[in-house]
Structure 1
Amino acid sequence: MAMNMKGLSNVISIIILIFIVLVVLVPVLYYVQYSSQYNTVTQSIVNNYVYLKNLQISQVTTGHPSLYYNGSSIFVTYSNGTFVPPSNLTIVSILYLNSNGIWVNVTSVKYPLVISQGQLINLPSYTSGKPIIIVTSLGNIFFLQPGSSIGPFATAGKGGTEILAQIYTKNGPLSVSANVTSNIYGSFKNYTTPVAFGNQTGTFIVKAPQYVYYQNSKGQIITGVFYNWIKLGPATLNSTTSQGVKVTLQGQPLVLIANYSILTTTVNLQVNTNNPNVPIIVNIDGSNYNVTGSSTIQVTAGYVNITIYTLQFNDTTQNQSKGIIKYYIYSSSTYNKNTYIARSFIIFVPPSTSQTPTVYINYNNIYNYYRVYIYGYNLPGSVCLILNNTVYNYNYTQGYWIIGGNYSFDPTAIFNGEYTFGAQTVKFEYSNGSTFTYTFPNIPSYVLINQPMTISVYYGETIKWYLL
């Protein structure tokens, strides 16, 4: 009986041990299996993300969509028709590099911005000319300088020919507008870059100008001289260093960039005014200069921005002691037989010339101020002289500066209940020696002021009043 009990005890112990092993082993096996599945899923997610991220880079660089930044706007175009249906590009941030060297988010754009077709993204003016970074939802970062693109850029449907112009500087390219001539549509016509054409096949000629310019917000100008053509995409050019080239398309999108180098030659520019007495202020390429009569200013050859700051002035240098101040107002400027009415204009100064280029700034003498002395005699009290509704006090020893012209003449009077005391005699004495005298009741109602003069008014009893 004891042996049977001992055997039963051993069986129970084995069962309990097996139970404990199962209790511990099953969660361990489950954990191992779950961990394996988790790692597999995680790795799959990572691999899928990397694949999509790399696919997006491939799509953008092959034109689905292409990105072009001209310094103020982002052109997005699907220039590669091999992706069907079109792939979306989700932009979660656009950053620009501010003047302090800090990347700042452009908050005026509504994020996320989903791109599914060609469109134009306008950026605020404070980003103009600044490098930008486009951040996508997949974490891709696309860096763009003004005038640069990623992918074959063309605004004409699924592909075409795009002609751009840029000035290449040490800080990167500056996108500029240039007038190019081309017969891409048969006859030669002028086009302003950036310009897009639907052509992907055929042969045409395009000619770029020798000089272009870029103007910043301070009015400073950078002039570019043609250097070469940059070709993005398959095509044949008979030359890359000539302004005019023959282009043969090969059935795929093409971007042609007219590339310019900075013109750094300095030349002397002469600035003359038709008033040799009074200094005027002229702003040339963002710097102010005082010009009196004639001045020679060194400028960078090419396009020069000129702004006239002095639009009016009084010339007191010669005749003020004689009682005359001449008033001048800006009229026009002339350069190289061209006349400019606006106060701000751009001229072209060639790098080399046998004669000194000269800008003539012209002013018109619109009117003059004349010193007028006004004297009153036998004044009956608080009386004054009124000219065109302006009151002048008698006997002001400094005299008055009055613009030349015809003036209504009104020497005021006083009534004391019996007599009116007014002007009995008026005398106009001009600087040329002319004198005109008038007596009551023939006092004139106007006076001509066309030179320095003296007005003398003699008061007395002019009208006697009787009580009825």
Structure 2
Amino acid sequence: MIRRAISVPIFMVLMFILLVAVIVPAYLFMSSTQIYSNQGSQQATGYLEGQTQEVNQVFRGNPNVYYNSSKSPYLQVLFTSIPYPLNVTQIYYYNGTTWSPVLKGSLVVAGNTFIPLPSKAFNKPIIMVSGEGNVYFLNPNTSINTVNVQGPAGKLPVYIASFVENGSKFIPVSVQVIFPTTGSSSITPQVYYVTPGTYPLTDKNQTVFLPQYGLTGTFQNWSIVGGTLSATNQLSTSVTVFSATVITAIYKAQTTKYEVQIVPKNIPLAPNVTILKRHSLLSLSLSNLSLSSLNKTIPVKIDNKTYLLNSSGIKLNLTYGYHLIQFPSYYNISFNYTSETLLKKILGKFFMYAGEINCYEFNGLSSPNSNVSIKGTDIVFVNGSGKVYGIYTQSSVYYAMLVNNSFSFPSGVSCISCRPSVIGDIAGQLIQVNNSFVIGPTTNNGVERLYFKNGTTIYFTKVYLYGPFSGQFQILDQNNPESFSQLLSNPCYIKVDYPLGTYSFNPPYSFNMNYPYYITDVQQWEYGGYEL
């Protein structure tokens, strides 16, 4: 019994030693592991917060980072309030082939600073990389306000841009690329966030068209900062990403030029006279119709620049590649209208300035030369000298109607002194047409000009009495002088002059607009009175 009682205390002592020596250290170890894990998470969170804070400061203009691309280019950093230090680890400029570094080491900017750049950077884009892992892409003479590259924790930003190199000028352009998987495509510039690794990259555009410059760029090579490419001169390549990466697709502008003549076709530009012979049933004779074009030119946009083309067109030296040629969809040509019939040989020729307007519709471009290919309604591809036609067809015809008034006194009545004038073409007398609108001159000795589509029915419904017409009028009526302060007219008839002859009518009356018409509303002053 005594031995058994002694073994229990010994067992308890041994268990206490085991607890102190093994379990407590294990607990402390597990607890410390969780603490270290939280510290790592806090560090990652702090890193992202630093990135975001820097971006917010830069986008708010504190500092304002401006790229002055002059003959002596520099990067200007200006603070608008308490400086937020900006750690610049590297600046790159494009040297025509690849991105070249500028700084020999990192630079901490804590006040207004001018960072000189090599003269070779003139008029070329640059890339600035900050210590927080942000990458900024700047075109010449711009500020950082549109592009920032940063991503979620664990992923690296990949910024893909593209531009066309035209001599010493670099023109940003948008192209379609496939990245980071073969099934996804987007338009540059674009930011992607990927984990470190190797990804396929494809540019779907062998050539790119810049209509605002009249240039075509051909793919030249890829350029990269922060990663590696399996091939730089192929549209499809592979990208290995191990840090923040900027990739640019470089296109070379084609500068070889060819003479191309651009001509409007089937649209009669002056000097152009069209002679037509028409058989007239009314005059029982042939009539000679002469249409003389009044429009000497037509406006055409070529690579977003407007040219006035005459009937011979224009010759331009266009670069190899795509070009934009935009003729007006519709264009009106006005004609002087001259007609002569058997009746008019006695009475004289019928003539009206701008008596006819023809509307011409654009039907597209054509070229008789294989050197110029038509690629769309308004796009051509130039591969050599040639000619391009802008084809038109006549779509509609409009005839003019010139309306005036003719006032006179009845037989035996004359004006001794009339202020204002009351003889001849006096404005204000109106004719109602089609029960919907009125026609008539609005100024004395003026003519109202209207155009109606060929075949339109004109229905004269009524003539309005003009008056009372106020003024000071001394009238001689049958040798008896009288004075009036108001006159009132009475409609006589409407006179019509058109290519087939002259006639008159009283409303209601209708006819079809198949010719130009002179319309004269003939009125007589019938009554005189005094204003009460």
TM-score normalised over the length of structure 1: 0.56
> Are the structure 2 counterparts of residues 393 and 432 from structure 1 closer, same or farther at C-alpha, using a change threshold of 3 Å?
farther
Aligned to 1:19: none
Asked if the contact 1:313/1:329 (under 8 Å) is kept, the reply is yes
Q: Aligned-pair distance for 1:148? A: 2.9
Asked whether the equivalents of residues 358 and 397 of structure 2 are also in contact (C-alpha less than 8 Å), the reply is yes
SS in 2 for 1:198: strand
- Over 3 Å counting, the alpha-carbon distance change for 1:395 and 1:178 in structure 2 is closer
Q: 1:211 aligns with which of 207, 211, 214?
A: 207
The equivalent position to 2:254 in structure 1, one of 263, 267, 277, is 263
Residue of 319, 326, 350 corresponding to 2:382: 350
Deviations 1:267-324 (A, max 9, x none): 3152425523120233434654321235243322334355669986652466694454
Q: Deviations over 1:55-90 (max 9, x none)?
A: xxxxxxxxxxxxxxxxxxxxxxxxx99978847767
In 1: Cα distance, 2:248 partner to 2:239 partner? 15
Task: Give the gaps of 5 or more residues in structure 1.
Answer: 1-79, 118-133, 341-346, 464-468
Matches within 5 A, 1:35-434: 86=50, 92-97=63-68, 114=84, 136-137=109-110, 139=113, 141=115, 143=117, 147-151=125-129, 153=135, 154-157=149-152, 158-180=155-177, 182=178, 184-187=180-183, 189-199=184-194, 200-214=196-210, 219-237=212-230, 239-243=231-235, 245-267=236-258, 268-272=260-264, 274-277=266-269, 278=295, 279-285=297-303, 287-295=305-313, 296-306=315-325, 315-316=334-335, 321-327=351-357, 334-335=364-365, 336=374, 338-339=376-377, 347-352=379-384, 356-360=387-391, 367-372=398-403, 374-376=405-407, 378=409, 385-387=429-431, 388-389=437-438, 391-392=440-441, 401-404=449-452, 406=458, 409-413=462-466, 421-433=489-501
In structure 2, runs of 5+ residues without a counterpart are 1-43, 88-106, 136-148, 270-294, 339-349, 366-373, 414-421, 432-436, 469-483, 528-532
State the 1:191 CA deviation. Answer: 1.2
SS of match in other structure, 1:206: strand
Which amino acid is 1:334 matched to? G
Amino acid at match of 2:383: P
CA apart distance, 1:226: 1.0
Corresponding pairs, count = 350
**Contact 1:183-1:206 within 8 A present in 2 as well:** yes
Q: How many Å separate the matches in 1 of 2:447 and 2:215?
A: 53
Q: Is the 8 A contact 1:377 1:457 kept in 2?
A: no
Aligned partners of 2:257 and 2:317 also within 8 Å: yes
Q: Is the 8 A contact 1:424 1:462 kept in 2?
A: no
Distance 1:430 1:210 in 2: 63
CA-to-aligned-CA distance 1:4-40 (integer Å, 9 cap, x gap): xxxxxxxxxxxxxxxxxxxxxxxxxxxxxxxxxxxxx
Amino acid at match of 1:315: S
Q: CA deviation at 1:209?
A: 0.8
- Report the residue type matching 2:156 in the other structure: G
Task: Note if contact 1:266-1:298 (Cα within 8 Å) is conserved in structure 2.
Answer: yes
CA contact (8 A) 2:199 2:240 kept: yes
Assess if the C-alpha contact under 8 Å between 2:333 and 2:359 holds in 1. Answer: no
Change (3 A) 1:274 1:393: same
Identity %: 15
Q: 1:4 matched to which residue of 2?
A: none
Please point out which of 426, 444, 451 is paired with 2:515: 451
For residue 454 of structure 1, report the CA deviation from its aligned partner. Answer: 3.8
1:260 offset after TM fit, Å?
Answer: 1.0
User: Structure 1 residues 330, 425: closer, same or farther in 2, change over 3 A?
Assistant: closer
How far residue 169 of structure 1 moved from its aligned partner, in angstroms, is 3.7
Read off the aligned partner of 1:185 and give its amino acid letter: T
* Contact 1:156/1:196 (8 A) holds in 2: no
Q: Match of 2:174, SS?
A: coil
For the aligned residue pairs, the C-alpha RMSD in angstroms reads 5.1
Distance 1:394 1:115, change over 3 A: closer
- Determine the C-alpha separation between the residues in 2 that align with 1:363 and 1:290: 20
Alpha carbons 2:336, 2:354 under 8 Å: kept: no
C-alpha contact (below 8 Å) 2:495/2:505 kept by paired residues:
yes
| Contact residue 135 and residue 142 of structure 1 kept, 8 A | no
Residue in structure 2 matched with residue 68 of structure 1 by the alignment: none
Amino acid at match of 2:441: Y
**Partners of 1:135 and 1:213 in 2: how far apart?**
41
CA offset digits 1:333-372 (Å, max 9, x no partner) = 73437446xxxxxx3523348x644445788657443445
C-alpha spacing 1:332/1:411, structure 2 compared with 1 (3 Å) = same
SS in 2 for 1:160: strand
Pair 334,455 (structure 1): closer, same or farther in 2 beyond 3 Å: closer
Q: 1:225: how far off?
A: 1.3
The alpha-carbon distance between structure 1 residues 426 and 160, as it changes in their structure 2 partners (threshold 3 A), is: closer
Letter in 1 for 2:128: I
Paired residue type of 1:410: V
2:514 and 2:301 map into 1 onto residues whose CA distance is 36
Where 1:289 maps in the other structure, the secondary structure is strand
- Indicate conservation of the 8 Å contact 2:256/2:320, yes or no: yes
C-alpha distance in 2, partners of 1:332/1:391?
A: 35
- 1:212 is displaced (CA, Å) by 2.2
Secondary structure (helix, strand or coil) at the match of 2:156 reads coil
Equivalent position amino acid for 2:321 in 1: G
Change (3 A) 1:452 1:333: closer
Pairwise CA distance, 1:177: 1.3
Confirm or deny: 8 A CA contact 1:428 1:454 kept in the other structure: yes
The change in CA–CA distance for 1:408 and 1:386 in structure 2 (over 3 A counts) is farther
Change (3 A) 1:270 1:137: same
